Chains A and B, each alone.
Chain A
Amino acid sequence: MFSFTKEQNIVDISGIKIGGQPGKYPTTLFGGFFFKGEPDFIEAKKHLEMMYKCSKKTGNPAIADFFVRKEEYIEKIIDFIIKNIPKQSPFSIDIIEPDLKIKILKALSEKNLLKRTIYNSIHVGTTEEERKALKKCSPEAAIFVAFNPKDKSPDGKIEVLENGANLLNTGLLGIAKETGIKKILVDTAAMAPGDNSGASIAAIPVIKEEYGFPTGCAIHNVVEKSKWIEDIGFSKKPVDAASNINIPLFGGDFAIYGPAKNSELVFPMVAWQDILVAEYAENYFGVEPVSSHPRRTLLK
């Protein structure tokens, strides 16, 4: 259990508060949509409703993370967001291709959605053109992926935030300053199994103590790539979901937990861990959980 000496930064993104001392706010859960193939909006609507229902039940905030793979999907996905994400609620846009990222920033700006947008993500592959686009169309918040190809340890993650590990002319935090993005979420960059994957968890308290930024990761990706699990009955899905409890256990603030269809497994597991952390944090450190915390909503 942790309590940090560094003052913790709590960001408020369209009413969802992320960050703070462990035990204060419940872990925010990012559920993913449209990872593969043609976007299936009927299925997505079902999963979105299920995710929000789980969130309402546990008190863990839910944020829909939309994976956009092709330009032709931009308009349709934005239309889906407008129709199905509650007004004022945040969502995140998850894109790999730099050109596509620039195009969606423009589209979100035109639809006045940037105030609700979490940009997923800024990293060493963020181009000069993308930086210019981010300056022009600044999203409300951004996830900074602290992936350092030279050093996957917690120190390496700090190096890339600070100075870009000599791969960029500035660190990722320099990009935040340059683009005017003030609400910073740090993703500690979960690696493949055996490739220092545990460092993404170990880095959470290191980064929170160093900077106080809300911190989390997509630790479930490590399970996703652990082929050996597939040989053991039905274990993959529950192990994938359970991996997320490492994040609150190590003082983290958010989990990017993979497909939103896994919400019914993920939310109760994380809520259970949040309760455990909050109990200890309150008894030992005097940190009181907010009224929406699972400790308050589920333990009557």
Chain B
Amino acid sequence: MKPETTVIGSYPVKYDNIDLMKSYFEEKEVSWNKYVDDAVNDMVNAGIDIVSSGQTKDPFVHIFMRNIGGCRIRDRAEVVGKVEYKGPITLDEIKYVKSIVPKNTKLVGLITGPYTLAKSCVDLFYNDCKKLSFDLADVLAKEAKNLERYVDLISVDEPFFSVDYPAYAHDLLEKIFDDIKIQKRLHVCGDVSSIVPELLEMPVNILSHEFKASPNLFDSFKEYDLSKNICLGSVRSDDKRVESVEEISRHLKKGIDIFGEKIVQLSPDCGLRMMPRSSAFQKLANLVRAGEKIYG
């Protein structure tokens, strides 16, 4: 079966700061929709099957920490009180995305993982990463439930798992996904070769990793019986050079050799926020073309 093309999350954005300031001077409500439009339209025009909102308003940690009770953002994200759910975080944006994409385009709801949030902020309240992570997971479970009605897939992004894997990682994911019936994906970028067995036990349907930047992962996964489906990272998100269709095709063939039909999604290695927009678009377009070339 042909894998679907998708994204991990973020997309490049260039803010019109003068326009934002005009909204202040004219006392009008600030709208971020045009940035969502740019990102989503690029994904759709590149031929991506499952699109995200592009996470254009804020970086992936700030999106959540700005909207969770007990948290604030000053120079950095800070936890200053008990973490609590204040209301939907990304729901309005995903509803907007649903209203602008063609009917056959699928959506991925993005959730930055609790461990990554906990490790990325300044904790001035808990002084206990585990407790903070679990309270964040409670909040994110509610957000996942909100999103479930509007998206086809929920993806939790936990880059910190690759640098400092916590013993309670599985329980965090279980807390978020326990009541979720749609497809569930865990994205961990970086070198995950040392935690492959743990990842294979995660309560998700799909594992997503950066196989293009870390091709050694093919060998790491080869050693195990694969119980999960794979979202194959196939273009780099840390290099603005656009991979050719041929180069991506070779990568996909390598992936098929290892994972066969377990590959259900093709994506960039990670979010594309740091790329120039033209590179990001071309990477997606070439990914789609390579997928068509290999899978027909």
Contact = CB atoms under 8 A, between A and B. Distances in A.
B107 to A, nearest CB: 23
A167 B17 contact: yes
A96 B27 contact: no
A162 B78 CA distance: 14
Contact of B57 (A125, A150, A163, A192): A150
B103 interface: no
Interface in B27-48: 27-30
Nearest to B20: A149
A238 interface: no
Given A149-B30, A150-B58, A125 B75 contact: no
Interface stretch (A11-19, A22-30, A152-160, A240-248): A152-160
Interface in B1-59: 15, 17-18, 20-25, 27-30, 57-59
A286 interface: no
A35 to B, nearest CB: 12
B35 to A, nearest CB: 11
Contacts of B18: 98, 125, 127
Nearest to A97: B18
Contact of A166 (B23, B59, B74): B59
Contacts of A225: 27
Contacts of B20: 124-125, 149, 167
A124 B58 contact: no
A195 B29 contact: yes
10 contacts: A125-B18, A149-B24, A150-B58, A150-B66, A153-B72, A155-B74, A158-B75, A163-B75, A167-B20, A168-B17
Interface of B: 15, 17-18, 20-25, 27-30, 57-59, 62, 66, 72-75
Interface of A: 96, 98, 123-127, 145, 147, 149-151, 153, 155-156, 158-159, 162-163, 166-168, 171, 189, 191-192, 195, 221, 225
